[in-house]
Amino acid sequence: MPKLVDPEERRRVVVDALFRVVVRDGMQRASLRAVADEAGLNIGSLRHYFASQAELMDFAMRAMIDRVSERLVQRIEEVGDLSGRTGPERLRLVAGLLEELLPLDDRRRAEVTVFLDFNAASRTNPAFQPLAHKAAAGTRKLIFRALTRLAEERVLRPGLDLGVETERLAALVDGLGLGAVLHPDALDAQSCADVLHAHLRELTRSAGG
């Protein structure tokens, strides 16, 4: 009797293999054959699910966005109601939310690496641009909502332009992700977290929260 194959499980295995290839060798070398070899599959099996490298990349990026989104939703549920918490506690909860976007462990490093390579490819590949723009807009929406919540709870300094602060924080997150992926010896996970927390503290009403 032939072995039944779960298509979703097979796709997950392929995406995980793609992430490993991209982290190790870069997106340019993540061919269908390279990913098939990494996943322990023959090229024919892979082509059953993905007709081209571009199709595989698009699916991987969507899978990465879904994974991060699921963790963010879980984080938001854990944060819950901020009322009754001190300013520093609220900042730590928001920082923990934003840390999901930084390469602070192997899983998140792989996701950020794929995100960076995909965005670089989207500069010259119009087919990738809508998804790249969606991911960037999602990051800014998350940051704006987090800052708005802190402002409503009177944790942030009064008078801040939340639109400007959203762009500043988005640039910080993007820069930390890029620096940590390109220069992990110079910018490690703890340094990334420290910089993020320091920036958020500077936005508060007072140094002591």
Spatial separation of the C-alpha atoms in residues 200 and 45, rounded to whole Å? 48
Mean pLDDT of the chain: 87
Q: Which CATH class is domain 1-51?
A: mainly alpha
Q: Say if CB 82 and CB 90 are below 8 A apart.
A: yes
The tens digit of pLDDT for each residue in 53-86 reads 888 888 888 888 888 888 888 877 776 666 667 7
The tens digit of pLDDT for each residue in 146-200 reads 899 889 888 899 999 999 999 999 999 999 999 999 999 999 999 999 999 999 9
* Multiple choice CATH, 60-202, 1.10.357.10, 3.30.470.10, 1.10.260.40, 3.30.310.50: 1.10.357.10
Spatial separation of the C-alpha atoms in residues 200 and 172, rounded to whole Å? 11
> According to CATH, where is 1.10.10 located in the chain?
1-51
> According to CATH, where is 1.10.357.10 located in the chain?
60-202
Q: What angle do CA 177, 179, 183 make, to 5 degrees?
A: 125
Q: How far is CA 109 from CA 19, 20, 123, 166, 200, in A?
A: 10, 10, 22, 23, 22
